Amino acid sequence: MIDNKEQVDDDFDFSRDQYYKLVEKGEEAIELMLELARESEHPRAFEVLSNMIKANAEIADRLMDLQRKRKDVLRVDNKPDSTPQLGVTNHNLFVGSTKDLAKMIEDRQEHNTRVIKDINDADEE
């Protein structure tokens, strides 16, 4: 499992570095395109500039996605595979009247009280 974490960290670092390099190059290209668009005042130059800005913003978004993916991978790797989850109930449904529910709760409370009394009786002996 350690090797897998190291590989994930290495891949993450490499990808992150690549994204940062792309953002830096994109910023340089945007500056050059901005100068060209200003000088030419051609609508196509402004369209290209707009697309370049959008592409650079998407790369920044991908950096955030990379963080999220890394956390997901590490979370999955840290979970024990064979241990079942105990005590988690999802989508529990009670079919009955409120009277039935109140009786069930009352019975459970009486049972808990009896268990505590039995434990206290055993301690006295």
Could you write out the three-class secondary structure of the chain?
CHHHHHHHHHHHHHHHHHHHHHHHHHHHHHHHHHHHHHHHCCHHHHHHHHHHHHHHHHHHHHHHHHHHHHHHHHHHHHCCCCCCCCCCCCCCCCCCCHHHHHHHHHHHHHHHHHHHHHHHHHHHC
User: Domain check: are 69 and 102 in the same one?
Assistant: no
pLDDT digits (tens, 9 = 90+) for 3-62: 678 888 889 999 999 999 999 999 999 999 999 999 999 999 999 999 999 999 999 999
Q: Quick check: 30 and 53 in contact, CB under 8 A?
A: yes
Domain CATH code at residue 69: 1.10.287
Number of independent structural domains in the chain: 2
Q: Is residue 33 part of a domain?
A: yes
Q: Is residue 29 part of a domain?
A: yes
Q: Find the domain containing 115 and state its range.
A: 94-125
* 0.95 surpassed by pTM: no
Q: Is residue 74 part of a domain?
A: yes
User: Domain check: are 70 and 100 in the same one?
Assistant: no
Q: Is residue 41 part of a domain?
A: yes
Q: Is residue 14 part of a domain?
A: yes
Q: Is residue 42 part of a domain?
A: yes
Average per-residue pLDDT in the chain?
Answer: 82
Q: Which residues contact 30 (CB under 8 A, 6 or more apart)?
A: 49, 52, 53, 56
